[in-house]
């Protein structure tokens, strides 16, 4: 694998995790939205990840390196939460309100995971950069 291949793989990881954090932020911002433009509560969104083989691979160890990519952003089809709140403007005749299917604990856990993976990709890029600089020093 070329030296820039590892930068490409880390960069794709950074892009995916940034997008994942954006989607999680949107979920958190809309966790109380009971009516969207479609007239239903907000549905939690998730990204579907895929992978593409990197340009070259390490034939010495037969490792096939892959770049992360986002296949699509999908809506979670789990049921909405039903809460009894007769004073809410979106309450039905029985006083029940449909709330978005966003769970704060799940979203915060996903956000922390995305942050850690983002940091790991930054560390990998910094380490690769240091190795390139050391290799250049040896060549002098």
Q: Are the beta carbons of 59 and 77 closer than 8 angstroms?
A: no
73: helix, strand or coil: strand
> Buried (b) or exposed (e) across 43-62, using 16+ Cβ within 10 A?
bbbbbeeeeeebeeeeeeee
Per-residue pLDDT tens over the stretch 83-129:
999 999 999 999 999 999 999 999 999 999 999 999 999 999 999 89
More confidently predicted of 71 and 107: 107
3-state helix, strand, coil in the chain (%, to 5): 45, 20, 35
pTM attached to this predicted model: 0.81
> Which pLDDT does position 98 carry in this prediction?
94
- Angle made by CA atoms 115, 120, 125, in degrees to the nearest 5: 125
Burial of 24 (0-12, 13-18, 19+ CB in 10 A): buried
């Amino acid at each position: 694998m070329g030296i820039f291949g590892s930068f490409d793989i880390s960069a794709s990881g950074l892009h995916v995790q940034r997008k994942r954090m954006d989607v999680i932020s949107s979920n958190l911002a809309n966790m109380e939205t009971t009516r969207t433009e479609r007239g239903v509560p907000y549905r939690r969104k998730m990204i579907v990840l895929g992978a593409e083989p990197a340009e070259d691979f390490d034939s010495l160890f037969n490792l096939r390196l892959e770049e992360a990519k986002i296949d699509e952003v999908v809506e979670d089809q789990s049921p909405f939460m039903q809460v009894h709140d007769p004073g809410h403007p979106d309450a039905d005749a029985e006083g029940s309100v449909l709330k978005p299917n966003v769970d704060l604990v799940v979203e915060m856990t996903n956000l922390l995971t995305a942050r850690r993976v983002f940091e790991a990709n930054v560390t990998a890029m910094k380490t690769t950069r240091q190795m390139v600089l050391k290799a250049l020093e040896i060549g002098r």
